[in-house]
Structure 1
Amino acid sequence: MPHHEDNPVPLGSSDLCFDSRSFTKEHFSVDEFLQEHRNRANLEAMRDDLGMYLKVLRTAMIDLINKDYADFVDLSSNLIGLDVGISRIQVPLGQLREELIHVKQSLEGAMNEVNNQLAIRRELRDRKRSLRSLSRVHSSLKKLRALLTQGDNQGTPAGPLILERATSEYVQLLFHTKKCQKDLKDNDSKEFEQVDSLLIAGVNKLFLQSIHSGEEGRNGLHQCLSFYHTLNRLDSAENLYRKKIVAPVMQKLINQNSLKSLPGGLPALYGRIIDFIDGEMKILMDVTQKFNSLICDCKCNFLLRSFWPEVEERIETELSPIFAAGDPDVFYKRYKDTLNFLEILSERCGSQKGILELHSHPNFLSFMEKWNLPVYFQLRFQEIVRQIEKSFASEEWAAKRADWKLLASETAWDCLLRCWEDDVFLLPIAHKFWKLSLQIISRYVVWSKKVISNVDGKKKTDLNFLVCLYTDVESLNRKLPEIETLSKSKIPRVNDETSSLLKRSLEEMRTELDRLLEEMNEAIVKTLCAENAAYLQQVNNIPRLFRRTNREAPTKPLPYVISILDGPISFFQSYQHHPKSRFWLQTMFSRMTKQYYSSVDDVLNSVKKTEESLRRLKKARDKSSNVVTSNDQRVGDDNKIRQQLLVDVHAYLAGVESLGLKKGSVEQLAELLLLVGASQTQ
């Protein structure tokens, strides 16, 4: 193939509206190219320049083809006659291939023969080794039987030295037994089992003897553990200790009669069980701990595999009534006593790893599942809910303590605290108690809203109840962070995520209480306004008091003004120290003033229309005759109406200001004054 250096792409002329090197960029984009050059030239000019550059590229391509044409022609001429040469060497290559195949077959046959001979030799060698091991097995069995029956013939158990020799010989026996497994006869297997039983029995006797020897048996215990470990039979030691030592003691201790006879009840029984660990098991546990530290791969644990399974099974079978949750108070005490017992038991494990092994033990998991915590919580739930609902339905609504106004609020708070009391709260179901706390708050909000909706606004007791409820809701909202603090003190090691979730859920409840306070503000104001709605209707009756009655010009406000102010004044006197009293009164007067303004405006408009009608009527009569009509008297009556409205509004203003409210803080009060003031000049 012809080869030439890479020819660079030719550049366009400098008068083009773009740089031709832009097309050779690695990440060329048409959109970016047009965006970049749109301000230099319009599309028609760019099209013409691109056409010129295309001609340059075509010319460069033709030059390149012409330059390499000679090389292509030379290459094709060199290939003439190549097929003849290929045909000439095909026959020799075929013969060579057949010879290589024949040689390969000969080598494979030789290799198969060699492999067969090697396999026969390997089989003979294995057979010879197996027979040698079989001979050693017979010798070891004979030697072991002599060693292990020596003590029995003398009437005493085999000593540590004999057991040490026997154990070493037994290990050799195991090794050779595996080597001659195919050549073993049934008699050999039976004899092996007999020797195995004799050896384990001997170690077991020494182990039990050392257990009962107290301090003097420490060395014997260490030797026995070494024997068991060498024989890979530590589980036999653990089972033996459970059956011969732990089971008899626990059988006498863990039963209903023992539980009833102990003065301290269940805690005393648990104390006796712990005393067994600290007493009879202490030496064994000390020796086991030292032995495990010396032998890296040893995990002997009599507490976990001998003591605990026996204790747990005895408690489950003999003391099953302690798991009953019928009486939540009794259940709580038994459960807490059990947790204290398990905590002490965990301390006896000696290490964090030992504690984890205990807590993950199948018997431990089964034991904890026996405590029916969901049933316990359901009983507590019913107990607390029943108390709350009773307070909601009670006709006696006054609280018993000074820090609350209503019995329902006091009960709700007490029930919130009850969820986290020491004789109620249990850590494994902390999430349920937290949910119950939120449900109590939510139920209190629902009850409060129902109370608000049932208030008719016509009774003073309703208003008093609403103010008390508002005060309690405000207090509850302020106290809720105490529940968060209390819950965190009861739940150890709360991570940041859990803490954030607790805080967020409680904030949602506080938001609900804030909304409830807004609804209660509205309910209190409506109740205040409802008492005075009927009095404001009397404003429309003022014209009838003066028209054609010859009453004197008014100097005192009408009784309806006094009636309107009586309720707010009484409310202020009762609740003047309440931080929201002025807000409620201000809101109430703002709404009432709007209605008052509307009524006064209607009366003044009516008076004005009457005056205009009388004026037109007077003009018509004056034209027809010279008789003086009584219109002047009717005009005087209208002025008295305006004067009465002015006196009433000023009395109303004085009443508002007597409650400590400023004129500008009550909506439309200033406009009302201007309205009645302006009417006097009409």
Structure 2
Amino acid sequence: MGFHDGFFTGSNRLNFEPEEFHADSFSVDSFIQRKRQAVPLDVLRDDLGSHLKCLRSSLIELINQDYGQFVNLSSNLVGLDGRIQSIVGPLTRTKNDLQGFDQLLDDNILSLSSQLETRRRIRKGKVQLQYLRMASVALDSSEKLIKKVPSEIGSQMDFCMLRNACDEVAEAKFLLQCCGNSKLETQLVSRWGVLCNTILSRIKNLLKAYADIDFINETDLAKSSQDSKTIMKSLLYMYTELQCDPVVEDILVKEVLQPKCELVLSKKGNIGALFDTIEVFLAQSPLIFVWRNLQEFPWMAKYDFIGRAIFPCVLNILCKHFPHIWSPSNPESFHSNWMRCDKFILTLENSMPSIDHLQQFRVSHAVKEFNSKWQFPVYFQLRFHAIATELESALEDLTAPCSTTDFKLDATRVMIKVLNQCWDRDKVYISRISGRFLKASALVVSRYIREIQMKISTNKSVSIHLSINAYCDLNLAELVVRQILLQKMTNDCYLNSSCLEEENLNTDLTTQQLSNSAVQFLSQFLWEDARGAIAANLVEIAISQSSTSISAVNDLPRLFRRTNRDSPSKPLEYVESILLPVSSLKNDIYNSHQTDLWEKIGDKIGLQILQRYQAQVQEVLVSVQRMEESLRRLKKVKGQSQSSGDAGKGQTDDDKIRLQIQLDVNYFVQKLNEISPHVDTSGIQSLFRTENGKQ
């Protein structure tokens, strides 16, 4: 319960909450402004006064409750100052004693640190002296061994002594690296340099001999190719021990590879012989064989004989002796040179010992420079110009028949021929620009389809035979083009890593994704549009040929009116001539094995011919009906007697006309159902049911 809860009750309830005054954001002005809107100011003043009285009463009650404690507090503080002064002296003396002990400990720590540092330097000096002594012993031992090794090593014993001397020199190098700078250490380093150069000169001769693919000598040192590989492994390990790895790559280029290449160029002087020699060297050299066995000798990973030695050397030779290989002025030579170089690059990549070496090789400066020299865009333009010229010359005479049995039109044969040329690896195609050849293929196929579509759509004199032949070739060409491009896109183009990088495609694409992309690409060709144009042309031709015979229906009244001809018993010949073009077209299409074409146009042709024939028949029937009504009215005018006399004449001319039309229509419907069974003929047959009903 609050101190004011019992004070204000009932009607004396305050118009504000006392807790509002305890808020940190309390403001008198805002409080007055807010409350004056709810109650008058005089009421608010009275409430505040009442609240003040309540607060004062509460204060008095609180003082009365704690009065005893206030009195005791003042009496307990008497004499406190004296007791505090009595303990100040002992505390000051204790503080001074602790400061003295702290200073003494600091002095002892400094003294001990100085002594420990002196001992550490002495111990380090002893260790360095020990290393120097051991290094001196190792150098002495290696000097003795080197003196026993001849300059021309010809036995296993000499090679073993050389290897032991190399081990001693490598150990001395390690020990000297652990020593500090001193005069003695400088002298030992000088001795080490002399010994290292001596050993390197001995190893260099061996490396030159055993890196050569033609070295298999029956000597005491190497009696087989396996011994040569073992010796090469030991030589490379010696270079690694002496920390002279780059020297090996230098020797390989200057002492082994360059002389062999110069010898080949002096004898044969062509790029093929140069690459053949290097490929044989890669396949048979003990140096490359040992280097590729990284799983057995992981310490060889620091060497890169192909990326840093062989390929830069070959590139320099190409730039110096064969700069013409990069010129596309002769596309045939350019293609053959690239294919040989590409095969050589693939051989180098297959000779790499690890994936890391392969990746470093592909992004190396030498490979980038080599690729940048090939003028692929110019080469592609020359090739595409030749291909496009041959295709355009064939499309100029689209009606020319094909000399082979594969296609009907020679233009189709030429289109497939130039499309195959685009992907002919042996003569034209280069995988590095496969994206361009893919675009060229799309242009070739689209140009062929567009030309057929325009020829059929714009030229109204195109024969049925040509249209059917074009339709046959479109169907067959679509299958052949799909087979060619689908195979090339999945196998030769997008699975090639260099092509993927050039086209900015994802190299993690799966075969299914590539197949889907190829199908989507092939679906963009407008084969169906061209076939639709051919179908529309055939429909138009067939209807045009049939329409000339349909007009013969108008001549039927003249055959029977006032001619006294017998009643008709068979259809007239014009009905056969109406459906003869359609029947001939169907036979030609079926003979060409293009049933899908007839399924597409058969019902359209039949329906339109039926509609035209039905309109002509209906027009003739209406005319006959009008003529009959006119004659009937004329008879009524002449009188009943004449009318009765005429009634006994039997079948009238109009009846004969209707009967002939009915016979013709029935025969037409029968033939039309044979040609196009799906066409609804109930409309034309209902004309006679209606007519008979009227009669």
User: Which residues in structure 2 correspond to 1:527-538 (within 5 Å)?
Assistant: 527-538=541-552
Asked whether the equivalents of residues 442 and 509 of structure 1 are also in contact (C-alpha less than 8 Å), the reply is no
Asked whether the equivalents of residues 554 and 616 of structure 2 are also in contact (C-alpha less than 8 Å), the reply is yes
Asked whether the equivalents of residues 206 and 224 of structure 1 are also in contact (C-alpha less than 8 Å), the reply is no
Cα deviation, residue 202, structure 1: 1.9
For residue 272 of structure 1, what is the aligned residue in structure 2? 277
Instruction: Please state if 1:313 is matched with 2:309.
Output: no
- Residues 437 and 112 of structure 1, relative CA distance in 2, 3 Å threshold: farther
For residue 476 of structure 2, what is the aligned residue in structure 1? 475
Q: CA separation in 2, counterparts of 1:676 and 1:197?
A: 123
Cα deviation, residue 403, structure 1: 2.0
For residue 250 of structure 2, what is the aligned residue in structure 1? 239
- Residues 630 and 208 of structure 1, relative CA distance in 2, 3 Å threshold: farther
For residue 667 of structure 1, what is the aligned residue in structure 2? 680
Q: What fraction of aligned residue pairs are identical, expressed as a percent?
A: 19
Instruction: Please state if 1:466 is matched with 2:461.
Output: no
Q: CA separation in 1, counterparts of 2:341 and 2:403?
A: 38
For residue 197 of structure 2, what is the aligned residue in structure 1? 201
Cα deviation, residue 271, structure 1: 1.5
Q: CA separation in 2, counterparts of 1:107 and 1:656?
A: 130
* Secondary structure class of the residue paired with 1:293: coil
Q: CA separation in 2, counterparts of 1:118 and 1:310?
A: 64
Paired AA for residue 515 in structure 2 = S
Instruction: Please state if 1:607 is matched with 2:624.
Output: yes
Paired AA for residue 338 in structure 2 = Y
Paired AA for residue 444 in structure 1 = Y
Show CA shifts across 1:503-556 (max 9, x none). 53266258x434543443233112211223344345446556766x65746747
Cα deviation, residue 304, structure 1: 4.5
* Secondary structure class of the residue paired with 2:403: coil
Asked whether the equivalents of residues 270 and 341 of structure 1 are also in contact (C-alpha less than 8 Å), the reply is yes
Asked whether the equivalents of residues 249 and 308 of structure 2 are also in contact (C-alpha less than 8 Å), the reply is yes
- Residues 112 and 252 of structure 1, relative CA distance in 2, 3 Å threshold: farther
Instruction: Please state if 1:498 is matched with 2:510.
Output: no
Higher mean C-alpha deviation, range 412-421 or range 283-292: 283-292
For residue 58 of structure 1, what is the aligned residue in structure 2? none
- Residues 102 and 553 of structure 1, relative CA distance in 2, 3 Å threshold: farther
Asked whether the equivalents of residues 264 and 273 of structure 2 are also in contact (C-alpha less than 8 Å), the reply is no
1:442 to 398, 423, 446: 446
Q: CA separation in 1, counterparts of 2:430 and 2:441?
A: 14
Asked whether the equivalents of residues 394 and 411 of structure 2 are also in contact (C-alpha less than 8 Å), the reply is yes
* Secondary structure class of the residue paired with 1:597: helix
Paired AA for residue 451 in structure 2 = W
Q: What is the root-mean-square deviation in Å for CA atoms of aligned residues?
A: 5.2
- Residues 656 and 103 of structure 1, relative CA distance in 2, 3 Å threshold: farther
Cα deviation, residue 243, structure 1: 2.8
Instruction: Please state if 1:508 is matched with 2:523.
Output: yes
Unaligned runs of 5+ in 1: 1-76
Cα deviation, residue 392, structure 1: 1.8
Q: CA separation in 2, counterparts of 1:110 and 1:541?
A: 146
User: Which residues in structure 2 correspond to 1:11-22 (within 5 Å)?
Assistant: none
Show CA shifts across 1:186-214 (max 9, x none). xx87x788556534422321122223376
Asked whether the equivalents of residues 561 and 651 of structure 1 are also in contact (C-alpha less than 8 Å), the reply is yes
Higher mean C-alpha deviation, range 337-346 or range 148-157: 148-157
Cα deviation, residue 466, structure 1: 0.9
- Residues 84 and 364 of structure 1, relative CA distance in 2, 3 Å threshold: farther
Q: CA separation in 2, counterparts of 1:98 and 1:651?
A: 142
1:329 to 315, 328, 332: 332
For residue 386 of structure 2, what is the aligned residue in structure 1? 383
Paired AA for residue 611 in structure 1 = E
Q: CA separation in 2, counterparts of 1:421 and 1:596?
A: 56
Q: CA separation in 2, counterparts of 1:432 and 1:441?
A: 14
Q: CA separation in 1, counterparts of 2:323 and 2:577?
A: 74
Paired AA for residue 204 in structure 2 = L
For residue 206 of structure 2, what is the aligned residue in structure 1? 210
- Residues 132 and 607 of structure 1, relative CA distance in 2, 3 Å threshold: same
Q: CA separation in 2, counterparts of 1:151 and 1:678?
A: 128
Show CA shifts across 1:157-188 (max 9, x none). 99735554444323322221xx34xx789xx8
Q: CA separation in 2, counterparts of 1:526 and 1:109?
A: 120
* Secondary structure class of the residue paired with 1:529: helix
Cα deviation, residue 291, structure 1: 9.7
Paired AA for residue 202 in structure 2 = L
Asked whether the equivalents of residues 406 and 469 of structure 1 are also in contact (C-alpha less than 8 Å), the reply is yes
Q: CA separation in 2, counterparts of 1:98 and 1:397?
A: 126
Asked whether the equivalents of residues 148 and 198 of structure 1 are also in contact (C-alpha less than 8 Å), the reply is no
For residue 646 of structure 1, what is the aligned residue in structure 2? 662
- Residues 478 and 667 of structure 1, relative CA distance in 2, 3 Å threshold: farther
Paired AA for residue 601 in structure 1 = Q
Q: CA separation in 2, counterparts of 1:444 and 1:100?
A: 111
1:594 to 593, 596, 611: 611
Instruction: Please state if 1:564 is matched with 2:568.
Output: no
Show CA shifts across 1:4-41 (max 9, x none). xxxxxxxxxxxxxxxxxxxxxxxxxxxxxxxxxxxxxx
Q: CA separation in 2, counterparts of 1:428 and 1:325?
A: 15
Cα deviation, residue 597, structure 1: 0.6
Q: CA separation in 2, counterparts of 1:309 and 1:611?
A: 106
Cα deviation, residue 404, structure 1: 0.9
Show CA shifts across 1:56-85 (max 9, x none). xxxxxxxxxxxxxxxxxxxxx99x989989
User: Which residues in structure 2 correspond to 1:89-488 (within 5 Å)?
Assistant: 120=114, 124=118, 160=162, 162-176=165-179, 179-180=180-181, 197-211=193-207, 212=209, 216=221, 224-253=235-264, 261=268, 265-277=270-282, 282-285=285-288, 293=296, 296=299, 299-349=302-352, 358-359=361-362, 361-394=364-397, 396-423=399-426, 424-456=428-460, 459=461, 461-480=462-481, 482-483=483-484, 486-487=487-488, 488=490
Q: CA separation in 1, counterparts of 2:547 and 2:199?
A: 102
Asked whether the equivalents of residues 141 and 168 of structure 2 are also in contact (C-alpha less than 8 Å), the reply is no
For residue 22 of structure 1, what is the aligned residue in structure 2? none
Asked whether the equivalents of residues 597 and 672 of structure 1 are also in contact (C-alpha less than 8 Å), the reply is yes
Q: CA separation in 2, counterparts of 1:513 and 1:291?
A: 55
Q: CA separation in 2, counterparts of 1:359 and 1:611?
A: 97
Asked whether the equivalents of residues 325 and 376 of structure 1 are also in contact (C-alpha less than 8 Å), the reply is yes
For residue 20 of structure 2, what is the aligned residue in structure 1? none
Asked whether the equivalents of residues 614 and 631 of structure 1 are also in contact (C-alpha less than 8 Å), the reply is no
Cα deviation, residue 599, structure 1: 2.0
Asked whether the equivalents of residues 409 and 469 of structure 2 are also in contact (C-alpha less than 8 Å), the reply is yes
Q: CA separation in 2, counterparts of 1:630 and 1:618?
A: 11
- Residues 223 and 476 of structure 1, relative CA distance in 2, 3 Å threshold: closer
Paired AA for residue 415 in structure 2 = A
TM-score, normalised via structure 2 length: 0.66
Asked whether the equivalents of residues 304 and 358 of structure 1 are also in contact (C-alpha less than 8 Å), the reply is yes
Q: CA separation in 2, counterparts of 1:481 and 1:228?
A: 58
Q: CA separation in 1, counterparts of 2:520 and 2:477?
A: 16
For residue 66 of structure 1, what is the aligned residue in structure 2? none
* Secondary structure class of the residue paired with 2:423: coil
- Residues 480 and 544 of structure 1, relative CA distance in 2, 3 Å threshold: same
Paired AA for residue 468 in structure 1 = N
Q: CA separation in 1, counterparts of 2:657 and 2:95?
A: 138
